[in-house]
Amino acid sequence: MKIVVIGEGKVGYTLTRELSRAGHELLVIDNRKDTLSQTEERLDVMVMQGNGASVKVQEMAGVGKADLMIAVTSADETNLLCCMVARKLGCKHTIARIRNAEYAEDVYRLQDELGLSMTVNPERAAAREIFGLLQYPSFLKRDSFAKGRAEIVALPVREGSPMDGMKLIDLYRALRVKVLICAVERNKEVFIPDGHTELQAGDHIYVTAPMRSLTQLVKWMGIETPRIHSAILVGGSRTAAYLAQMLIEAGIDVKLIDHNHARCEQLSEELPKADIIYADGTSFGTLISEGIGETDAVVTLTEMDEQNLIISMFANSQQVPKVVSKINREEYCTILPDNAAECVVNPLQLTSMNILRYVRAMQNRQGEGVLTLHRIVNEKVEALEFRVTENTKNIGVPLKDMQLLPNLLVACITRHNKVIVPGGMDSFMMDDRVVIVTGNDHNFNTLNDIFVGGGKA
């Protein structure tokens, strides 16, 4: 697809990189020459310097003939104007980054008039992701498939766990619930396991199953974390405001710490049911005096990744049951300690993946392509969801008899709203939704791509 991205800040660069990786034809427009030069050097994309909201610039860029235009500048108003111009020029699909919460309802009501196909809000997306992790504190990561009916979650294998030293073939026999371990992360390396894989303490396993089965698995592993009743949020960012409201509505006590007095006053008006503390949240003394040792969760949401990392490490040292860090720079994630209590949320990555799923949906009008795509285990593994159609090969053939490419796993089948954790005797049926987990060495566009020879006999 031909895609034009306007705005090459952090969100724009992350999005451009992901779309380029997916093989799309990209043109990036930005006012800053130095930023464009870096993008052109690092990524295989075309660039153009100029004001993306200008009719003349968009005409020169051929936006009217593009399949999609995405505006992700730092100004909401500019992004809206970019979309309006693009639609006037003939571009049928436009996406705008809208951060201001006050615009949300107006934009929804005027979506057609503004020429919008979709809006994205990195801060709200991050808040929703963190809220989901706090709802299920035993999970390190969580991704939903089949319209929320199936999950792939990350769980830690701790020393002394019944899983420590157990082969998967024995594990599946021992469990009373049916789950499938579709990826294992060990010492920063990732692999897709088979029945002979032996789990070790320190592993992070990625498991797929219905939520009820996952809850039973967590209890069996002995890592069940009690429900969160209180949380400390460090940093008064927009993400913090969104998250605080979600937690309050869920009946969770919220204490929010920020060093900016004016911001604290504003948050006090917006969040009357939260305790807003005007203090330095990066100070260990402040955190101790505010009860970090007694809270159920700590979420670090300052604008500096370095501060979030240090605060999270201190929270872990205080044995806080659940710690979540907002980190924008992906390279920082590799230096985090292997601590079972800590989770990392990357707003830039979340936003780019949400847009990438929209692009996938545009490509999938005939129902043959990828329905949803999640990159898991620090983007080293992909989980792709397909629909079984009349063109799918091997319908009705047991999985054990299918000739599948190496380094992939059929992780989940959803049939008539029922989630099936597949075994060797299970098969594909018409209209099934199938989740495939694979390494980055494969590039699947249709379900038939998972078969040796594309499913040919």
Kindly tell me if the per-residue pLDDT of 457 is higher than 50. no
> Are residue 90 and residue 159 in the same domain, yes or no?
no
Q: For residue 18, give the nearest of 385, 373, 343 by alpha carbon.
A: 373
Q: In this structure, what CATH number is given to the domain that contains residue 441?
A: 3.30.70.1450
pLDDT score recorded for residue 60: 96
> What residue type is 98 in one-letter code?
I
pLDDT tens digit sequence for 84-93: 999 999 998 9
List, in sequence order, the alpha helices (H) in 277-370: 284-289, 305-317, 330-333, 347-363
pLDDT level of residue 380 (50, 70, 90 thresholds): confident
Question: Minimum mean pLDDT among 52-61, 105-114, 194-203, 256-265: which range?
Answer: 105-114
Decide which of 275, 298, 320 is a domain's last residue.
Answer: 320
Q: DSSP E strands: which ranges in 89-244?
A: 94-97, 118-120, 141-145, 150-156, 180-186, 189-191, 204-209, 230-234
pLDDT score recorded for residue 118: 87
pLDDT score recorded for residue 3: 95
Going edge to edge, which strands form the sheet with 204-209?
Answer: 141-145, 150-156, 204-209, 180-186, 189-191
115: left (phi over 0), alpha (psi -120 to 50) or beta: left
pTM of the model: 0.78
Answer whether 189's CB lies under 8 Å from 163's CB: no
CA max distance for the chain: 70
Decide which of 221, 253, 277 is a domain's last residue.
Answer: 221
Q: What is the mean pLDDT of residues 380-402?
A: 90
pLDDT score recorded for residue 337: 54
Task: Name the residue with higher pLDDT: 104 or 56.
Answer: 56
pLDDT score recorded for residue 88: 93
Q: What is the mean pLDDT of residues 66-95?
A: 93
Task: Name the residue with higher pLDDT: 210 or 231.
Answer: 231
> Are residue 91 and residue 150 in the same domain, yes or no?
no
Decide which of 66, 85, 120 is a domain's last residue.
Answer: 120
> Are residue 209 and residue 234 in the same domain, yes or no?
no
> Are residue 17 and residue 88 in the same domain, yes or no?
yes
Q: What is the mean pLDDT of residues 161-186?
A: 87
Only one residue has tokens 């960012």, namely 237
148: left (phi over 0), alpha (psi -120 to 50) or beta: left
Number of domains in the chain: 4
pLDDT score recorded for residue 341: 46
pLDDT score recorded for residue 366: 47
DSSP percent split of the chain into helix, strand, coil, nearest 5: 35, 25, 40
Please give the Cα distance from 68 to 48 (Å, whole number). 16
> Are residue 193 and residue 210 in the same domain, yes or no?
yes
Could you tell me how far CA 196 lies from the centroid of its own chain? 30
Q: What is the mean pLDDT of residues 357-382?
A: 71
Asked whether residue 131 is domain-assigned, the answer is no
pLDDT score recorded for residue 333: 65
Asked whether residue 326 is domain-assigned, the answer is no
Answer whether 414's CB lies under 8 Å from 199's CB: no
> Are residue 30 and residue 51 in the same domain, yes or no?
yes
- Residue 97 forms beta bridges with which residues? 120
Kindly tell me if the per-residue pLDDT of 284 is higher than 60. yes
Answer whether 58's CB lies under 8 Å from 34's CB: no
Q: What is the mean pLDDT of residues 439-445?
A: 74
Kindly tell me if the per-residue pLDDT of 231 is higher than 50. yes
Q: What is the mean pLDDT of residues 155-169?
A: 89
pLDDT score recorded for residue 268: 96
Answer whether 387's CB lies under 8 Å from 432's CB: yes
> Are residue 413 and residue 388 in the same domain, yes or no?
yes
Tally of CA atoms within 13 A in the half-sphere of 65 that contains its CB: 6
Residue 261 CB contacts under 8 Å (≥ 6 apart), including other chains: 278
Where in the sequence is the domain holding 165, given as residue range(s)?
A: 140-221
> Are residue 93 and residue 58 in the same domain, yes or no?
yes
pLDDT tens digit sequence for 37-47: 989 888 889 99
Report CA-CA distances (Å) from 372 to 174, 364, 434.
32, 10, 10
> Are residue 423 and residue 363 in the same domain, yes or no?
yes
Kindly tell me if the per-residue pLDDT of 308 is higher than 80. yes
pLDDT level of residue 246 (50, 70, 90 thresholds): very high
pLDDT score recorded for residue 336: 61
Q: In this structure, what CATH number is given to the domain that contains residue 287?
A: 3.40.50.720
Task: Name the residue with higher pLDDT: 417 or 409.
Answer: 409
Residue 90 CB contacts under 8 Å (≥ 6 apart), including other chains: 64, 65
pLDDT tens digit sequence for 47-60: 999 999 999 999 99
* 8-state DSSP, 449: G
List, in sequence order, the alpha helices (H) in 237-329: 238-249, 261-270, 284-289, 305-317
> Are residue 301 and residue 374 in the same domain, yes or no?
no
Q: What is the mean pLDDT of residues 177-195?
A: 87
Only one residue has tokens 């005027």, namely 110
* Token reading at 119: 């809006």
